[in-house]
Amino acid sequence: MKALTILGARPQFIKASPVSRALKAEGIDEVIVHTGQHFDENMSKIFFDEMGIPEPHYNLEVHGLGHGAMTGRMLEKIESVLLKEKPDVVIVYGDTNSTIAGALAAKKLHIKVAHIEAGLRSFNMKMPEEINRILTDRISDFLFCPTTTALENLKKEGFENIDCKITNSGDVMYDAFLQFSDIAQEKSTILSDQKLSDRKYILCTVHRQENTDDKQRFGEIVRTLNTVAEEATIVFPVHPRTQQLLGTYSLHKNIRIIPPVGYLDMVSLINHSMLVMTDSGGLQKEAFFARKYCITLREETEWVELVNGGFNKTVGLTIMIF
């Protein structure tokens, strides 16, 4: 049996690590296709190196484009790979442009699609990720849900009446976090490199287009971070897109801007932080795994269990923390 895995963004590299190991253990051949959506050293290659993910067999080098052009270019290139490789199933992860492009290309060629992290819903159709995950779920043959809430979402949408197999598989991100926490403790040097070993700090990331492309919203986030930084150090690994936008703002001296980090360094930063502030779906879960409270810089989250359980608080434009 041959599985073809579509990857493109940091969260997908993390999720792919335990799945690739499981496929190998079962004797299933895996062909990995990297769309190029995240392409620089700190957003891509380092994850393959650190997490033992097999090197991609194909790198499509599609990046730096708008949603339509990026998805269309990926769809075209993925289709060519599928025609050559003829896999039995295509595996896609999460909710990116790489996800929907991989699912569409496979489905149009009548190849089975497996969606890992199926059933998540933020119920905000203005989010490109919400559109991607809904459409991917609808055309997938195997839906692997990370939570009971995701499972219930699919039931409410009538997926029990659709020809597909739904499984509550648990969260592969938790598998990765458990595996690499001890390794991060041993190998990561980020705390000493950034002189954080004896310092209390808040870990923050911002990258979603709904936050960064809206000048009013992004300005409000920066003003809030500056206010928080009057009381505590903020460590801010900056996504390349966010870095460009931050150049127009004055940041408080206690906001420590650092380049994007690999998974081991990120796990170390999470584990030693006092609080996490983020708009990332993956980092919300990783904060929970590390037993850290999380402030989510969005109106809503697909991880509603964390909010309902009191581990996570979503905030809107007017952000009141302290």
d(CA 297, CA 310): 16
CATH topology for the 181-314 domain: Rossmann fold (3.40.50)
Taking the complete model, does pTM exceed 0.85, yes or no? yes
Q: Look-up: residue for tokens 């067999």?
A: 57
d(CA 235, CA 203): 5
Find the radius of gyration of the CA atoms of the chain.
19
Residue closest to 184 by CA, chosen among 254, 277, 298, 272: 272
Q: Quick check: do 2-170 and 181-314 share a fold?
A: yes
Q: 201-205 and 233-237 as β-strands: parallel, antiparallel, unpaired? A: parallel
The two structure tokens encoding residue 159: 């997926």
Would you name the residues annotated as active-site residues? 207
Classify the C-alpha dihedral 112-113-118-124 as positive or negative: negative
d(CA 205, CA 106): 33
Please state the domain extents for the chain: 2-170, 181-314
Reading the chain (322 residues) residue by residue, the pLDDT tens digits are: 999 999 998 889 889 999 999 999 999 999 999 999 876 555 557 777 788 788 899 999 998 888 899 999 999 999 999 999 999 999 999 999 999 999 999 999 999 999 999 999 999 998 899 999 999 999 999 999 999 999 999 999 999 999 999 999 999 999 999 989 989 999 999 999 999 999 999 999 998 888 888 888 899 999 999 999 999 999 999 987 788 888 888 899 999 999 989 899 999 999 999 999 999 989 999 999 999 999 999 988 999 999 999 999 999 765 544 4
CATH number of 2-170: 3.40.50.2000
